[in-house]
Structure 1
């Protein structure tokens, strides 16, 4: 035992083990005889059970921590995947009966080989029960009549069958041996045990001891010495982990600080994104190393580290790379043999366990990384006996591991040699594990994986990366980890070239308005645009746009001049934007619903000297230094202008529009889009939709975002009819259904969350377009795709992705199959559109492997001119294209994390920063934080998006400030920000949680509670039946515990999409036709209840008057009819 003592902790552990086994401290030189009576040492639980089972004496003992952890995993696993198997080649003059006696001898020497596991009557605790009789399963098979190939196939079949054959843990026997005769001097012994009874070293010890027991039995001798019994070791471990000794407490504290459950394993996205069934289905592949063991040993010697540490370090660094270099810290499990003490070296049983190695990962040099890993492994080894595997049993299935073993493959010589030709051990359900075995002067490497998480092709891919990574490390240890190339030439070419074959012809030199004018010449009398009761033909639209264009020309508008466009949804929307484009200018779309201060800022930032409006969309309040032209009130003046097409002065490189997106500094960013960007996108949509006849397009979104451009321009340059749907129609499923019934629509572009809300009231498919449903603006779930498909409608579903900076959309995916749903958690965003290139790059802007997370960069014809008046931000986001020979070529850094799927489609994974999407709107949380921080008394603020159990997303602000009411904050923010950016909840904290690096720990922010948020109005409980029903409906959708009658729906966190669902529920509950606008006009329970009660009262009075005027028979018929009332 003294050889194992290297520290105070080890001295304590070693001494305790020897004293425990010997029963005292006087003589530690030998252990007790097998089945010798143990002393009960229970700490609150029985350690020993003795009873008679079928006339055999048995002893029951507590499971070891390793066994308890494994038994827990076994209870939730399908089948029995945890086992230990060994195939031993026996060469020489073998006598099978002697070999059987030799196995019998080993069973009598090692209690664990005759142990079963059971719960005696009345006892819930599982015990390991040691039987007196040396029972085991023995079988012989003669294959000597078969050729060598057939023999190998049969043996492989036996191995496969045995690897799935269930064990009877209660009755046993658990040791099974099958002897296969190949020839007179060649046999194979297949040995099988449940992992509860043995680990890899146990199998090696079994082979070694069997090679010595065979000649002993042949010569009728017995092996000398008594082995350590596993039950004794298990008791010692239980005693130790339950002790309150200072060394034990120190050891347990060591592991608590490195608690694996608090730090995830590396998020490797290769293969399947979502596990198939959650089951553990182990498999493995061999890894052929390009580097010989001698080179690995040489480098390890130079760095004064072990070969194991070197290989572990390479595996850990590769995992960091495969996790997209986004994990700053993760846990990797390392196999510990658990045999630090000399008495355990030749013992049998489950001594091994995996220790969690928690490491901080960053782009550092190989040498520095090797030192840190070696130190971490040594430290873990020092404290190994104090780690309880049960603490990680719940998280280990989503973890990655490493093991390194040194094995002797050949034992004995005369008269029979024993050679281990195959060995398999599994006692932990890791999703991925690199297993290295050194045998003599050779090293073999395997990758073990869960088939429910990884495909075999993906694991082979990882194997190739490890080969290249290790080779690179051996060649140059001074290079940084992030600089090591792991792609081969074929994969690099596939990622950079093959996935970006998108070249297509473009109309040269024209502006988008000229393509419209060409269409006017072809179909002047066709309806171009419809909005409510208004219709304009192509000729009428062209004339009105020309009149505005001539006026703007006289006002000095020309190429790249910006003109504000703030109009309500109407035909004037298209008149305004087309008139601006014909004048040569660029339109700056503004949302009339946004705060006036925000609109003024956008006009100033874009340097717009003229504003186009309609029907007082700006409340007839002029903006300073901006001339306003109202398309309705100034109609007579506009009609006096020439109606011919102005001579075009626009080039393809001139600006077509400037759209403002949320800015992290608090100032919206104006994205400058050129004509050639928009023309490329428009032409692609025409080709993608295979438009060979005019189609009807519907747009339901504001033009202040570019979502609607998918329909606006393709419709107007192809002879289609553009339907601009009013707010009520766009937001209410019933009204949209009626509209589609009256005016069939071929193409609809909509945000997924918006469409999902509409489906809450419409499930029969009548709100689906005839040909194409295009979803974009946010992640599209497979669940929504399935809900749409269940409507059995023939329209094609297209997922569309693209930031404003790359012109509306850059990738598309046709949802015609769910084959990829097992690989991706959301519907893929697809492949790049025409003349567009997409790259998924790491932090060094190099391509990441197929299936690995990286940042999505977009290049090509859609990349815009950047941000107006924000050169630093433009330079940061629009970067030189390292893969282009054109020095002017730029890539846009989207900030989105993505990965390539096996077929070349791209999956969106989330954001690399704090930008979020709220109901399709792009929101920089920093802009909200800046607005809150500008208030006096606010010391700290962080804004995040909280996703509740129903997957609804809410903007939540966490603040450290002097006392202030949420109502005051909302009112202040509504003067600066659009409604969708105003937080639905404010959480006040004494301090913000911080990471060890001093940054705000967003993951540690508490969830907003579901009580009624702080409002200025006092809580008044519902009084009438209608108020109680309304309050209950609102509370269920708003996720609050109570709603007062004077509480404002929108101050409680309600928004437009939620309003559509709430109104739909109210209609069903009250059997009333309640328009959506009623909730906006009467946003409190009391106000809305009054309207509902008034409608019911009016209906009742009308109904009674009608009955009085009828005959008795007619009245009886009327009373039998059902109907609804309108509010």
Structure 2
């Protein structure tokens, strides 16, 4: 067992200095040490500090108030550290936002009425200006470089206190919720850093890999750990990100070439790195510590990584929440792990970092007994002030995280997933030797029809046998908690922060679970609302409304279908046209009432799915009323002609464009379905 690191309760619970002041200590001690590496660019502590001081004076000159929020929208670049430190030195609070974030997130962050200014690039000015409220300064580091460089690079005292606001970090939007801004004070960052310093055993010799997008708490945790300990922050560029195939070769080269010693990353990244190391027979060079966070990382995966890397690399499974600036709890894999039954079902998170308290909450909010399950709660100095919407965290009380946990028999904590997840079914599925990852969720097919569906990936080089898998589940789970439908996917959908995206799964195409899919791959149950029952309903509704429209035509539009003066065969052809119009109307009504699941299973966004559903229905429905109105309209009745054109022709054009957009759009989880 590795030795437990010494605790530092007093210093962790009562920080006296801000993190940018801790960083400034190293500016004075080792000004020529490398602070940041980004591609071919390197900045020493002195260079970074002078740039940050100049920007801080520029912000103060612009009128930045104490604690005023400043959005930093720069992407992954060394200058993002200049901006972050400049805002802190000026007495403000930085609000990191990634330029590549979804438009809804950008609007939410940049349209905040309390935002004082935005620091960005000229190339992003138009995007930022379209969102940020008028009158807010937009500071472009490239086009305003001359004015900023004219400021003094000497240190300045903004009179910042430990209780002042340091940053606003947005949550990752788990389970489809909109991200929430968390108010993080200087004392929160300082307390979190002290816990990391003790557990990670940080030193100025360390080189820290930074892979998280700037908007997430992981980015702030990375730079605080690196620069407050006098180490070097190595920024991974876009070329080093894992691609859709999970290729970790560029990231591995960066780690080795830059002599990285501390790797803090999410679960998909460590999965990609491990696959690459195994396939190439490679190692991680100088890496001494890997800390993995963001989602459940299971004990069998940790043990497999230990076998690949050897005992000289420390392996930590970290449970962190944005409300605590990424701090929370950690589990360090022992050198000689104890024998654990079903390690593929267990994600231990161990014990709380110094400065934090993490507990499993039972009924009434009290900590649960050993062996009990409940909601994980966090409290202590690492907890922020509250949410941007005004709700404050209560001092001395646990903040409920929305995650499910359990107290193990040894007193350690175990992460079981989200409270609303089907953690027991997922744990059992992971226990099958042919299953890599899995996600179990409830999907609603039509009104009130819900199906429990498991999305499953096969182990590398393996293949799933559905009959065997169903038998495996039936002997280990009650039927009420077992998935009714099994769907094989190439990879589970994940959010931009690396968490499993439970709202991003596509609806599966339905097949009989007892049959093998073409090519010997997936098999699905017929339950789910896209089988024969829906087509039967569509056929019945189509016949009903087609007959109804045929009967009502003369009542609604007298003489619009009168063919008494039209000779044959033209009269017969026009009669066929009227029949087709009625059939199209009936099919359109049936599509409107029944076909939402058929459209939704293609995996587009909910808004585009709804728009396409209505557009197809209107393309079918509109012909019957449109043609009958037109046939009764006089050629010179310009008012009616214009009304008809805009009521039908223009809307049909729009509906056609919506269908084109639906067909052209990529599914929300590209390349998931096999």
What TM-score results when the alignment is normalised by the length of structure 1? 0.38
Q: 1:839 to 1:982 in 2, by over 3 A?
A: closer
Q: Which residue of 2 aligns with 1:628?
A: 138
Distance 1:831 1:900 in 2: 10
- The within-5 A match list for 1:857-876 is 857-871=377-391, 874=392
Q: Which residue of 2 aligns with 1:734?
A: 249
The alignment covers a number of residue pairs equal to: 464
> Is 1:821 the equivalent of 2:331?
no
> Is 1:642 the equivalent of 2:152?
yes
Q: Which residue of 2 aligns with 1:774?
A: 291
Q: CA deviation at 1:719?
A: 1.4
Equivalent position to 1:674, from 185, 210, 214: 185
RMSD: 4.0
Equivalent position to 1:1051, from 657, 660, 667: 667
Equivalent position to 1:575, from 82, 99, 102: 82
Distance 1:943 1:713 in 2: 45
Equivalent position to 1:707, from 206, 210, 218: 218
Distance 1:1004 1:676 in 2: 56
**Do the aligned residues in 2 keep the contact of 1:900 with 1:906 (CA within 8 Å)?**
yes
Q: 1:577 to 1:779 in 2, by over 3 A?
A: same
Q: 1:823 to 1:892 in 2, by over 3 A?
A: farther
Q: CA deviation at 1:792?
A: 3.5
Q: Which residue of 2 aligns with 1:80?
A: none
SS of residue paired to 1:632: coil
Q: Which residue of 2 aligns with 1:812?
A: 330
Q: Which residue of 1 aligns with 2:232?
A: 721
**Do the aligned residues in 1 keep the contact of 2:58 with 2:148 (CA within 8 Å)?**
yes
SS of residue paired to 1:616: helix
- The within-5 A match list for 1:731-880 is 731=242, 732-763=247-278, 764-767=281-284, 770-793=287-310, 794-816=312-334, 817-819=336-338, 821-822=340-341, 825-871=345-391, 874=392, 878-879=393-394
**Do the aligned residues in 1 keep the contact of 2:329 with 2:351 (CA within 8 Å)?**
yes
Equivalent position to 2:416, from 909, 929, 935: 909
Equivalent position to 1:983, from 488, 501, 504: 504
Distance 2:529 2:369 in 1: 36
SS of residue paired to 2:400: strand
Q: CA deviation at 1:594?
A: 1.7
**Do the aligned residues in 1 keep the contact of 2:121 with 2:142 (CA within 8 Å)?**
yes
Distance 1:737 1:889 in 2: 43
Distance 1:849 1:524 in 2: 51
Distance 2:602 2:355 in 1: 52
Q: Which structure has the highest strand share of the two?
A: 1
**Do the aligned residues in 1 keep the contact of 2:73 with 2:99 (CA within 8 Å)?**
yes
**Do the aligned residues in 2 keep the contact of 1:850 with 1:901 (CA within 8 Å)?**
yes
- The within-5 A match list for 1:90-239 is none
Q: CA deviation at 1:617?
A: 4.1
> Is 1:585 the equivalent of 2:92?
yes
Q: CA deviation at 1:650?
A: 1.2
Q: 1:747 to 1:607 in 2, by over 3 A?
A: same
Q: 1:552 to 1:589 in 2, by over 3 A?
A: same
Distance 1:943 1:608 in 2: 44
Q: 1:502 to 1:540 in 2, by over 3 A?
A: closer
**Do the aligned residues in 2 keep the contact of 1:504 with 1:834 (CA within 8 Å)?**
no
Distance 1:620 1:830 in 2: 44
Distance 2:383 2:162 in 1: 13
Q: CA deviation at 1:768?
A: 6.5
Q: 1:582 to 1:1049 in 2, by over 3 A?
A: same
> Is 1:521 the equivalent of 2:32?
no
Q: 1:667 to 1:1005 in 2, by over 3 A?
A: farther
- The within-5 A match list for 1:861-1010 is 861-871=381-391, 874=392, 878-879=393-394, 888-913=395-420, 946-950=454-458, 983-986=504-507, 1006=528
Q: 1:858 to 1:984 in 2, by over 3 A?
A: closer
**Do the aligned residues in 2 keep the contact of 1:568 with 1:614 (CA within 8 Å)?**
no
Distance 2:235 2:103 in 1: 24
**Do the aligned residues in 2 keep the contact of 1:502 with 1:837 (CA within 8 Å)?**
no
**Do the aligned residues in 2 keep the contact of 1:602 with 1:668 (CA within 8 Å)?**
no
Distance 1:641 1:1005 in 2: 68
- The within-5 A match list for 1:975-1124 is 983-986=504-507, 1006=528, 1014=602, 1051=667, 1053-1054=669-670
Equivalent position to 1:694, from 170, 192, 205: 205
Q: CA deviation at 1:770?
A: 1.6
Q: 1:781 to 1:636 in 2, by over 3 A?
A: same
SS of residue paired to 1:683: helix
Equivalent position to 2:10, from 486, 496, 504: 504
Q: 1:1053 to 1:719 in 2, by over 3 A?
A: same
**Do the aligned residues in 1 keep the contact of 2:602 with 2:667 (CA within 8 Å)?**
no
Q: CA deviation at 1:982?
A: 7.2
What TM-score results when the alignment is normalised by the length of structure 2? 0.62
SS of residue paired to 1:608: coil
SS of residue paired to 1:761: helix
**Do the aligned residues in 1 keep the contact of 2:27 with 2:46 (CA within 8 Å)?**
yes
Distance 1:677 1:746 in 2: 26
Q: Which residue of 2 aligns with 1:559?
A: 66
- Deviation track 1:706-761 (CA, whole Å, cap 9, x = no partner) reads 12333211110121110010122132411122222321100011112222133333
Q: CA deviation at 1:563?
A: 0.8
Q: CA deviation at 1:595?
A: 2.8
Q: Which residue of 1 aligns with 2:169?
A: 659
Q: 1:947 to 1:707 in 2, by over 3 A?
A: farther
Q: Which residue of 1 aligns with 2:577?
A: none
**Do the aligned residues in 2 keep the contact of 1:850 with 1:902 (CA within 8 Å)?**
yes
